[in-house]
Amino acid sequence: MPFAAVRLQIYETDQLMPIIKIFVLACLIGIVVSLGSGMYHLMNDKGDSKKMVRALTVRVGLSVGLFILLLIAWSQGMIEPHGFSR
């Protein structure tokens, strides 16, 4: 059976849409908070702390996780892209 034909059949996609939106929103909020934390530590630390590097690591990890979440949700049919209106 091709990978594209395998769909998540446990729940209807209408029931999963709010859960996906909550995960996406949580990831975006985490990315913005990490960005703010990195900026704060860049401005206030004197270079003797690794807090800015940790904030960058968290932000990159959340971004990759968000990308993977969106890719899985799209491949399982939980979300559908829509085109640009003309």
Kindly report the backbone phi and psi dihedral angles of residue 65, in degrees, each rounded to the nearest multiple of 5, phi listed first: -60, -40
pLDDT for position 57: 94
- Report the distance separating Cα 37 and Cα 53, nearest Å: 10
pLDDT tens digits along 14-51: 677 788 889 999 999 999 999 999 888 888 887 677 88
pTM assigned to the model: 0.73
Q: How confident is the model at residue 12 (pLDDT cuts 50, 70, 90)?
A: low
Confidence bin at 70 (pLDDT 50/70/90): very high
